Homo-oligomer: A and B are copies of this chain.
Amino acid sequence: MSERRRDPVSHEWRIFATGRQDRTYLPPTDECPLCPSVPGAAPTEIPWSAFSVAVFENRFPALTEGVTTPHRDGFFALAPAAGAAEVVVYSDQHDATLAALGRDRLRLLVDVWAERYAALAERPDVQYVFIFENRGEAVGVTLHHPHGQIYGYPEIPPAARRELEVARRHLGEHGTCVSCDVAARERSRGERVVVQSDCFLAYVPFAARFPYELHLAPYRHVTSLLHLTDAERDDLASILQRVLQAYDALFGFPLPYVMAVHQEPVADGDWRSISHLHFEFTPIHRSERRRKFLAGSEIGAGEFLNDVAPEDAARRLRTAVPAMGAR
């Protein structure tokens, strides 16, 4: 079963991909499918013996290239699970972390993301390109080798749609981009800023959902990675590295997190003035030993509870940011 179904009560679409139920699950290191292929051993997903960054289609995809047209089954609406599901392997080193790979690799990764954004934008079954990373077993990672993913959704997903609606309203009322306004306010207030660079600001959001949530956005109104200048891409690689190193230093272990990149939809429409590129990091720890769980309030009511003041989280994260200039 590979299908999208619309919930009749919330009108949200959900993706069903039962082939994923048997996907590779935490294989031993010598059977890692994301390591390079070596002579004399069974080939991995990646045919080369060495590589920098590799991108390929997920072998257990949630979405596959195809026709997106929905149809009805009596009362219910459904559609093929069309779209893209790609894997982005950050390194050929099995035990590497993104933070430790260095700025050049991060800069290359920014270029790869931008290129995949442009490539997937061309596909008729893709309306929204969603770059993300799940890091750590605690967020459900099934392969340890450092990697991220890219989904090409056949719709603008609910979280992005809600942001765009608010941004459209804000533009109508104030004539400005709400994310530009937020970045300017956070920069001048300073109390939630974690680290800043020439072009980017990393801050704990005013109404963070997760205790150590962090958003990273350019001051300039840039709609996607594709529209960053060369200098901005260098700057992004550098501040991304500092954020990732701060997360690893915060509690002294690689912090499990979800990283989500929000960009301009690639669907037809007038999105330019209301789309503002930003990264959302949502680590799931509320302290060194305790996790934040999504439970009754979040899952049942959609209302987030947070036990850590964003200003305190920002203060702790600031002290974990490494001094500039390393590597």
Q: Which residues of A contact B (CB under 8 A)?
A: 1, 5-18, 20-21, 25, 62, 74-76, 128, 130, 132-134, 139-140, 149, 151, 153, 157-163, 166-167, 178-179, 181-182, 185, 205-209, 258-260, 262, 280, 282, 286-287, 290-297, 299-310, 312
Q: Is the CB of B308 within 8 A of A149?
A: no
Q: Is the CB of A159 within 8 A of B300?
A: yes
Q: Which residue of B lies closest to A159 (CB)?
A: B302
Query: Which of B166, B260, B310 is A11 in contact with, Cβ under 8 Å?
Result: B166
Q: Is the CB of A163 within 8 A of B10?
A: yes
Q: Is the CB of B185 within 8 A of A301?
A: no
Q: Top 6 closest A-B pairs, CB basis? A: A260-B300, A140-B293, A159-B302, A158-B302, A132-B296, A157-B301
Q: Which residue of B lies closest to A280 (CB)?
A: B300
Q: Which residue of B lies closest to A161 (CB)?
A: B302
Q: Is the CB of A158 within 8 A of B295?
A: no
The answer to whether A299 and B260 touch (CB under 8 A), given A1-B309, A306-B14, is: yes
Whole-angstrom distance between the Cβ of A192 and the nearest chain B Cβ: 10
A75 cross-chain contacts in B, Cβ below 8 A: 181-182, 185
